[in-house]
Structure 1
Amino acid sequence: MNVVLSTLNAKYIHTSLALRCLKAHAQPDFDVAIAEYTIKDPAMNVVTDLFRMKPDVVGFSCYIWNIEETIKIMKMMKKIDPSLIIVLGGPEVTYDTREWMESIPEADYIVIGEGEETFKQFLTALQSDKNMKNVSGIAYRNHGEVLINPQRNKINLAELASPFRFEEDIPHLSKRVTYIETSRGCPFSCQFCLSSIEVGVRYFDREKVKDDIRYLMQNGAKTIKFVDRTFNISRSYAMEMFQFLIDEHMPGTVFQFEITADIMRPEVIQFLNDNAPKGLFRFEIGVQSTNDATNDLVMRRQNFSKLTRTVTMVKEGGKIDQHLDLIAGLPEEDYTSFKKTFNDVFEMRPEELQLGFLKMLRGTGLRLRAADHDYVYMDHSPYEILKNNVLSFEDIVKIKQVEDVLEKYWNDHRMDATVEFLIKNVFETPFDFFQQFGTYWDEQGWVRIGHQLEDLFKRLYEFLSVHHKEQADMAEGFMKYDYLSSQKHKPRKPWWNDMLTKSERSTIYQAILSQPSLLGKEFEEKAFTEKDLYKHTILDKVPFDMDAFLRNGEVLPGESILLVHYDPVTRTASSYAVQENRLHNKVS
C-alpha cells in the first residue's frame, strides 16, 4: 500500500510538523512518503506531482490557509482516479466533521483531533478488512451514511517517536523553518483560540526533545520555532530549556517561542538578559487587546501592567527581539477602543507589531456564540469577521489601512527615526499617523501596485507635503538619515534632489580632511584618507542638529551636514554630523 501524506504550506520556508509526526508514528509498520507544496503552487502541478508517486492513499493536512486549495486538488484527483483513497486531518476538519463529510464526497475519511495513533490504526484497518468500526477518532461512510467514532484518550507524548530523523529532510534544514513541540495543550480558555478547547498541558520527554534539538543543529537547522501554545507556563521547565539552549546552541541558530508575558517573572528575564547571546531567542507575545471588558468576554486573563514590565525589561536587555500580536474585532472592542489598544502596545516599541483580524474558527466558543455580538463573517476560510455590533465594515476597512502601512513602515524598520519623529512631533498618537497615512495610501491606489524601497520614501514625503506641509522638510531630513544609514554600500542616486553643489561638497570634504575632529572623536580616530572619503561616503544637508540627534536623540533646530561612510569590508554604514555654522566657520 503506497501512502503519501501531503499539505500546502503558506510559504516554501515553512515545514509541516504534523506530517512528520504521522510518518514517524506509522513506522516501521508503514512506509509513508511526504510531499509538501505551497498554496501558491498551481493545483494542476500539485496533482501531477502526486500522481507521479502512484499513491493508493493520499492524506491531506488541512488548515484555514490551505483548505480551499486542498479541496480543489482532491476533487481533481478523484476525477482522475475514483479508486484513490483520500483521508483528511488537521484542525480545519476536526470540527464540524459531519458537515465536511457531507459537503466533500471526495473525502473518504477524516482523522479527528490528535492524529498519530488514529492514523496508524486507520492504515492497519485499511490494509486488512477496511472495517473502521474500532478505529477511534475517525469519520467514514458506511453505505452512504456518515459515521463518526469518538476520539481516543490522549496519547502519552513521552512515548512518541521523533519526527525529525528523516534523511530526506537534512538538505533542507538550513533553508527552512523547523517546527518543534515540547508540549501540547494550553492552560488558558481564550474563546477565539482552538487551543482553549483542549484541557490541560502535556509534555514530551525532555531528554528526547534535547536530543532532537542537538540533532537538528548538527544537521544545519538555523531557525527552530517552538509551537507550544505557552512555552513558559512552567517556570522551571522554561528555565531548564533556556539554559540548555544557551549552553548548547550553535552560531547562527535562532529559537522562537510563544510566551505569555504577564506570567514571566523578572528574575527569568534578568537571567536571559545576563546570559543569552544576542539574537539567539525571539519571543512572540499575544496581547490581542488591552480592553479589560473585552478580555473578560473572551475569558482571557491578562495583567497588562505585568506584560508591559516583561516587554520593557526584555527590550532594555537588548538580547531578544519581540513580536507582539493584536486582534481587531474582539467583542465590544469598537474603533476607539482598538485605537487605544494599538497606542498602548505601540508605546512599548516592539520590534514587530502584528495587526490581525478576528477569525471565527470552527469549534471555538466565540464562533458558537457569534450571535451574542451580531458577528457577520466570511462563510469560507479564513472566516474573518466583516462586522459586529460595535465595529462596522467601514471601521474594519480603516484598520486594514493601518495594517498595510504598519507592515511597510514599522515592522520592516526602514525608517525608524522618521516614524519616531512623526509620532512625537507631528501626530497626536502613533495610531493617528498610521491611520492618516494608510488612508492616503489607499486613496492613491498604491495598495494595488508594487513598491521599490525608494518609492516608500517618496510616497511618505508626498503624503506629508499634502497634509503636514510645515513639517515635511524636517521629516525629509530624518528620511535621508534613515535611507542612507540603512544601505550596505554607497547609493548611486538618492531619491531626493541634492542640496549641495559639487563645489560645496568639495569644500566640505577639504574642511573635514583638514580637521576631522569636526565630526567627533570616533570619526577622527578612523583617520579616513581623501580617497576613502570621496569613494565611500555621501554628504547631504538636513534641517536640524543631526549631531545632537546622533548623540542623544534630541531634535534641535539648526542645519547640519550629514556624512555617511560605507565600509566596503563589513558592508555597514556609519553616520556622522556637524552643524553647518561650525563648518562654515572652519571654511572661513
Structure 2
Amino acid sequence: MRVLLAAINAKYIHTSLAVRSLSCYAENTLSQRNGSSGKPKKPDIDFAEYTINQREEDILADLYTRKPDVLCVSCYLWNFRQVCHITENLHRILPGLPVWLGGPEVSFDAENCLEKMPQITGIMVGEGEQSFTELVGLYDGVAVPDQEAFSKVPGIVYRGGDGQIFRTAPAPLLSMDEIPFVYREENLEAEDIRHRILYYETSRGCPFSCSYCLSSIEEKVRLRGRKLVAEELQFFLDRKVPQVKFVDRTFNCNHSHAMFIWSYLKEHDNQVTNFHFEIGADLLTEEEIALLNTLRPGQVQLEIGVQTTNPAVIREISRTMKLDVLKRNVAAIKRGGNIHQHLDLLAGLPGEGIESFRKSFNDVYAMEPDQLQLGFLKVLKGSAMYRKAEAYGITASQEPPYEVLQTPWLSFADILRLKGVENMLEVYGNSRQFVSTLRFLIPLAGTPFDFFDRLSDYYKKKNLCGRNFSRLERFEILRKFAHGELLGRNPDDPDGRNTQDPDPTEERELDEHLVFDLYLRENCRNRPDWAGEYDNSKGLFREFLHQFFDKQQAGGFRSMSNSMHGELFYTDIMQTGYAEPVFIVFDYRKRNPVSGNAEFKVFRLAELQ
C-alpha cells in the first residue's frame, strides 16, 4: 500500500514541514506497531513537493506517474485553487483513488469542503500526525475501509457509503517531544533541500487571542524539551544550513525557552546559518535584548507583528500589545545594528479608516525597520474575525486568500490606494536600495505615507504600473518624480505641488543621494548621465589606492576598481558637518550582513593628499 503526501509550496526555496512531520510520525509509530505484529516494519509512505508556479497539468502528470494507492494533500491559502483543480482532474483519471486533504484551509470548514468537492474522500482536521497515522494503518490493513473503520480514526471528517458526511472526535494533542525531528542527513541530499529554507518548530499554540489569527484557537502553549532542541539546532549548525525559520507563534512568549535557544545559538554559532523568529517585541525583556545585541550580525532576524498603532483598534481585535514598550524594544534592537527587523502592518482592520492607517504607517516607518510589510486583512475561516465579519460589515473575497475588499471604514477605492502604497514601499523602501535618497525626499513630501502615496499616483499618471524596470530605470523614475513633484515646491501650497522652479542646490543634493545609493549596493558599470563625469573621482580613487594599499595588495588599479569604488561628493549628504567636499569609498568585498549593502568610508580630501 503506497501512500503519497503532496505539498504545493509558494516558492521553490520553501520546504513543507507538514508533509515531513506527518510522514516521520507515521513511519516511526507504525514501524514500532508493525514490528510487534509481524507485518513489514516500515510503511510505504512518500511525499512530493511542487510550487504554485508549476503548471497544473505537470503536477497532475507527476502525481499520476507516482501511482499512489492513497493521496493526501496539504492545503493552504496559497495553493487551494490548484488543489481543487488538480484533484478534480485526478479523480476523472483515477476515480477509485482515495484522496484526503488536510491543513488550515480545510480544517475549519471540512463539511462544506466535502459537499463542494465530491472527488475528496475525507479531510484530516487539526494537527494531522495521529489522524494520518491511523489512516495509513487502516488502508494498509483494508484496501477499501468501511464507515465503521473510519469512525475509529480520530480527527477526520469523511464521506460515508451513502454520501452522508461524518465527523469523528478530535485527536488528542501530542506532546511536542512525541513529534519526530523531520530532517536527516540522507534526506538533505536526496531531496536537494540543503540550500532551501528549512522550517522548524519548538512550540505549538499561542497564549494570545487576536481575532484575525488562527493561532489564537489553541491558547495552550506546548514546548519541545531542551535536550531535543539542542540536538536539532546542532544538526542545522553542523551542516551550515543557510536559513532556518522557526514556525513558533510568538516565539518569546516563554522567556526561559527563548533565552535557552538564543543562548545556544550564540555559543554554537557557525558563522553561516541565519535563524528567523516571529516574536512579540513588547514581550522582550532587558535580558533578552542584551543577549540579542551580542549575536553575530545577520545570525538572527526578527518578524514583529504591529498590525496597527490605533489603541481602539488594538482593543477591538482582542490584541494584547503595549505599543510604547514595543517601540522602545525595537529601538533597542536596532541600536545593536546586528539584527534584521521585519515589522508588519495590517490594513482593513475593524475601526481603522484611511487616516488612522496613515498614522499607523507613519508610526511604524518611524521605528526604522529593515522591512515594513503592508498586508491586508484576510478573513480566515475558523477565526473570530470570520464569525464577526458580517456584524462589522466587512466585505471580503469568497475565494482564497479571502482578502478584505471594503469595510465601513475603508472603501474599495481606499484599498486600491493602499495597494499602490504597498507596491511603492516594496520597490523603493523594502529593497533598501534607496535609503539615502528616501531620507532626503520623504520630508519634502510631508510624511512617509504621503511620499509613497504620491509616488504611486505618479506611477499611475505616467502609465508605469505593472511594468518591469531595471535597477537604473527605477532610479531614473524616482529622479523624475522628485523633480516634477517634490523639488521647488511652494511651502504655502497645502498639496506641496511643484509651483516654482526647482532649487539647483536641492537638485544637486538629490543627484548625490541617488549616486550614493547607486553605488552602495553594487559597482554600477553603466554610469547614468545625471551622475556626472567620473574623471575627478577617478583621480582621487587612484590616490586612495596608492596611499592605503601597496601594489601587491591592490593588484593594480583595474583589479581594485572591480571590488571597490570611490566617489567625490560636494554636498554633505552624510551630515558630517564638513564644509568641503568628501570622498567616499565603497568596498564590495565587505558587506553589511543585515542590509546587504557595501561597507563604505568617508575621507576628507586632505587625507588623500
TM beyond 0.5: yes
For 2:230, the equivalent position in structure 1 comes to: 210
Q: Secondary structure in 2 aligned to 1:23? A: helix
Q: Secondary structure in 2 aligned to 1:348? A: coil
Deviation at 1:525, TM superposition (A): 4.0
Q: Distance in 1 between matches of 2:386 and 2:293?
A: 40
For 1:65, the equivalent position in structure 2 comes to: 78
Relative to structure 1, the CA distance from residue 307 to residue 538 in structure 2 (aligned partners, 3 Å threshold; closer, same or farther) is closer
Instruction: Say whether 1:532 aligns with 2:557.
Output: yes
For 2:108, the equivalent position in structure 1 comes to: 95
Contact 1:500 1:541 in 2 (8 A): no
Instruction: Report Cα offsets for 1:286-306 as digits up to 9, x if no partner.
Output: 001111100111100110110
Q: Which amino acid aligns with 1:37?
A: Y
Relative to structure 1, the CA distance from residue 335 to residue 141 in structure 2 (aligned partners, 3 Å threshold; closer, same or farther) is same
Deviation at 1:272, TM superposition (A): 2.1
The one of 347, 361, 371 equivalent to 2:366 is 347
Q: In terms of mean alpha carbon deviation, does 441-450 or 264-273 score higher? A: 441-450
Q: Distance in 2 between matches of 1:311 and 1:493?
A: 38
Q: Which amino acid aligns with 1:350?
A: P
Instruction: Say whether 1:125 aligns with 2:138.
Output: yes
Q: Which amino acid aligns with 2:114?
A: M
Instruction: Report Cα offsets for 1:99-135 as digits up to 9, x if no partner.
Output: 1000011111100001100111122223334120111
Instruction: Report Cα offsets for 1:47-96 as digits up to 9, x if no partner.
Output: 11112111011110000010001111111111111011100000000011
Deviation at 1:498, TM superposition (A): 5.3
For 2:35, the equivalent position in structure 1 comes to: none
Q: Distance in 1 between matches of 2:599 and 2:256?
A: 42
For 1:42, the equivalent position in structure 2 comes to: 55
Deviation at 1:444, TM superposition (A): 2.5
For 1:466, the equivalent position in structure 2 comes to: 484
Instruction: Report Cα offsets for 1:200-235 as digits up to 9, x if no partner.
Output: 101122211221222233334221111000111111
Q: Secondary structure in 2 aligned to 1:232? A: helix
Q: Which amino acid aligns with 2:68?
A: P
For 1:434, the equivalent position in structure 2 comes to: 452
Q: Which amino acid aligns with 1:251?
A: Q
Instruction: Say whether 1:265 aligns with 2:300.
Output: no
Deviation at 1:7, TM superposition (A): 1.0
For 2:158, the equivalent position in structure 1 comes to: 140
Deviation at 1:562, TM superposition (A): 5.0
Contact 1:173 1:222 in 2 (8 A): no
Instruction: Say whether 1:456 aligns with 2:471.
Output: no
Instruction: Report Cα offsets for 1:3-34 as digits up to 9, x if no partner.
Output: 11011100001111110110011114323101
Instruction: Report Cα offsets for 1:424-467 as digits up to 9, x if no partner.
Output: 3x121111111111221233332211111101101101111211
The one of 557, 567, 571 equivalent to 1:544 is 571
Instruction: Say whether 1:377 aligns with 2:396.
Output: yes
Q: Which amino acid aligns with 2:521?
A: S
Contact 2:313 2:352 in 1 (8 A): yes
Relative to structure 1, the CA distance from residue 497 to residue 417 in structure 2 (aligned partners, 3 Å threshold; closer, same or farther) is closer
The one of 297, 301, 307 equivalent to 1:278 is 297
For 2:497, the equivalent position in structure 1 comes to: none
Q: Secondary structure in 2 aligned to 1:369? A: helix
The one of 116, 119, 123 equivalent to 1:110 is 123
TM-score (norm 1): 0.90
Relative to structure 1, the CA distance from residue 572 to residue 291 in structure 2 (aligned partners, 3 Å threshold; closer, same or farther) is closer
Q: Distance in 1 between matches of 2:560 and 2:231?
A: 51
Instruction: Say whether 1:74 aligns with 2:74.
Output: no
Q: In terms of mean alpha carbon deviation, does 565-574 or 160-169 score higher? A: 565-574
Deviation at 1:493, TM superposition (A): 2.0
Contact 2:212 2:383 in 1 (8 A): yes
For 1:184, the equivalent position in structure 2 comes to: 204
Q: Which amino acid aligns with 1:458?
A: E
Relative to structure 1, the CA distance from residue 443 to residue 60 in structure 2 (aligned partners, 3 Å threshold; closer, same or farther) is farther
The one of 485, 491, 498 equivalent to 2:520 is 485
Q: Which amino acid aligns with 2:76?
A: Y
Q: Distance in 2 between matches of 1:158 and 1:486?
A: 44
Q: Distance in 1 between matches of 2:527 and 2:287?
A: 47
Q: Secondary structure in 1 aligned to 2:71? A: strand
Q: Secondary structure in 2 aligned to 1:446? A: coil
TM-score (norm 2): 0.87
Q: Distance in 2 between matches of 1:577 and 1:450?
A: 37
Instruction: Say whether 1:392 aligns with 2:393.
Output: no
Contact 2:4 2:68 in 1 (8 A): yes
Structure 1 residue runs of 5 or longer lacking an equivalent are none
Root mean square deviation of aligned Cα: 2.6
Q: Distance in 2 between matches of 1:431 and 1:555?
A: 29
For 2:532, the equivalent position in structure 1 comes to: 499
Contact 1:540 1:562 in 2 (8 A): yes
Pairing of 1:13-32 with structure 2 (within 5 A): 13-28=13-28, 29=30, 30-32=43-45
For 2:491, the equivalent position in structure 1 comes to: none
Q: Distance in 2 between matches of 1:378 and 1:187?
A: 29
Relative to structure 1, the CA distance from residue 533 to residue 427 in structure 2 (aligned partners, 3 Å threshold; closer, same or farther) is farther
Contact 2:15 2:193 in 1 (8 A): no
Contact 2:441 2:486 in 1 (8 A): no
Q: Distance in 2 between matches of 1:264 and 1:567?
A: 35
Q: Distance in 2 between matches of 1:512 and 1:381?
A: 55
Q: Distance in 2 between matches of 1:565 and 1:176?
A: 31
Q: Which amino acid aligns with 2:103?
A: G
Q: Distance in 2 between matches of 1:405 and 1:391?
A: 20
Relative to structure 1, the CA distance from residue 563 to residue 155 in structure 2 (aligned partners, 3 Å threshold; closer, same or farther) is closer
Q: Distance in 2 between matches of 1:317 and 1:198?
A: 34
Contact 2:569 2:584 in 1 (8 A): no
Relative to structure 1, the CA distance from residue 240 to residue 575 in structure 2 (aligned partners, 3 Å threshold; closer, same or farther) is closer
The one of 327, 331, 343 equivalent to 1:308 is 327
Aligned residues: 562
For 1:401, the equivalent position in structure 2 comes to: 420
Deviation at 1:534, TM superposition (A): 10
For 2:168, the equivalent position in structure 1 comes to: 149
Structure 2 residue runs of 5 or longer lacking an equivalent are 31-42, 488-501, 592-596
Q: Distance in 1 between matches of 2:590 and 2:225?
A: 46
Contact 1:37 1:46 in 2 (8 A): yes
Deviation at 1:542, TM superposition (A): 5.0
Q: Distance in 1 between matches of 2:21 and 2:584?
A: 55
Pairing of 1:546-585 with structure 2 (within 5 A): 546=573, 549=574, 553-554=575-576, 560=581, 562=583, 564=585, 574=600, 576=602
Contact 1:43 1:69 in 2 (8 A): yes
Instruction: Say whether 1:245 aligns with 2:265.
Output: yes
Q: Distance in 2 between matches of 1:412 and 1:182?
A: 31
Relative to structure 1, the CA distance from residue 47 to residue 144 in structure 2 (aligned partners, 3 Å threshold; closer, same or farther) is same
Deviation at 1:249, TM superposition (A): 2.8
Instruction: Report Cα offsets for 1:260-285 as digits up to 9, x if no partner.
Output: 110111221012213x1221111110
